Amino acid sequence: MTPPRDLARRLTAELLGTALLVTVVVGSGIAAQRLSPDDVGLQLLENSTATFLGLTVLILLFGPVSGAHLNPVVSAADWFLGRRTRTGLSGADAAAYTVAQCVGAVAGAELANLMYQVPLTELSTKDRSGGHLLLAEVVATAGLVALVFALARTGRGMLAAPAVGAYIGAAYWFTSSTSFANPAVSLGRVFSDTFAGIAPGSVPGFVLAQLVGGAVAVGLVAWLYPHVGEAAGDVVVPHAPGHETGSTPRSAR
């Protein structure tokens, strides 16, 4: 069983990490919209660059504490792949991670709104519906989850921060949906009617597509890396045993 204090630290890291991630995404989206009001391509460049750099820093900051999942799909995949070897999150911990991530995402969007004096009560009106966008979310999420677990399985987890940041930065451009790839982030972005927002009615489709993408990635990495479950405890970033995360053995996570 995970010690309560250890779990509390990890949930705090997931909440803060996801909150700051959404603050980066929404805040840079607002700034881009104001700085380059007549150039959508430049807005996307500014938004994607800030997200790439911010996500890299956040994984480095929170990874040693919680693994820096910052994404319910990653946490669910970690539980699923590690459940037999008892190396990943338990089902209860994965559920707790998801709650913390979702709460953090909403708080992060509102923090960005406060900094840019955007009304807190406004919900996004930016419609993001269409089969092509849902396909893009499947692709974006599958690539993200596959990357994370491939790095962990091959002992390159410490490269996750720059690799994940680079992948998301690139996926802003090669996917038509601009790569949300994260149910918690999708929820958080509802709470800002700005460049980075998404209308509430578009969220269920995005979340379903992201879950499908996560399932595709799980199947892919299980085929390519038959013993990937043994590395579930090192996702996204290897935890620091006996330090930030306490001395709990991985089999108890």
Q: What is the pLDDT of residues 179-229, one digit of tens each?
A: 999 999 999 999 999 999 999 999 999 999 999 999 999 999 999 999 888
26-78: pLDDT as tens digits: 999 999 999 999 999 999 999 999 999 999 999 999 999 999 999 999 999 99
Q: Give the domain range for residue 167.
A: 4-232
Q: What is the CATH number of the domain that holds 223?
A: 1.20.1080.10
pTM assigned to the model? 0.91
Q: Is residue 19 part of a domain?
A: yes
Q: How many angstroms separate the CA atoms of 34 and 44, rounded?
A: 12
Q: Is residue 248 included in any domain, yes or no?
A: no
Domain assignment of residue 240, yes or no: no
What does pLDDT average to over the chain? Answer: 92
Q: Quick check: is 209 in a domain?
A: yes
Q: What is the pLDDT of residues 86-107, one digit of tens each?
A: 888 999 999 999 999 999 999 9
Burial of 222 (0-12, 13-18, 19+ CB in 10 A): middle
Is residue 191 within 8 Å of residue 103, measured between CB atoms?
A: no
Query: Do 26 and 188 meet the contact criterion of CB atoms below 8 Å apart?
Result: yes
| pLDDT score for 136 | 98
Give the residue with greater pLDDT, 238 vs 13. 13
Question: Please, is 15 exposed, middle or buried when counting C-beta atoms within 10 Å of its C-beta (0-12, 13-18, 19+)?
Answer: buried
In the predicted structure, residue 248 carries a pLDDT above the cut 50: no
Q: Give the DSSP per-residue string, 14-74.
A: HHHHHHHHHHHHHHHHHHHHHHSTT-HHHHHHHHHHHHHHHHHHHHHHHHHHH----SHHH
The answer to whether residue 14 is domain-embedded is yes
For residue 3, what pLDDT is reported?
67
As given in the structure block, the two tokens for residue 103 are 């709460």
Distance CA 43, CA 196 (A): 10
Give the count of domains, the chain.
1
**Residue 99 belongs to a domain:** yes
What is the DSSP track for 87-153? -S--HHHHHHHHHHHHHHHHHHHHHHHHHTT--TTPPP-----SHHHHHHHHHHHHHHHHHHHHHHH
- Residue position matching structure tokens 């430049």: 42
Buried b (16+ CB within 10 A) or exposed e, 154-179: eeebeebbebbbebbbebbeebebbb
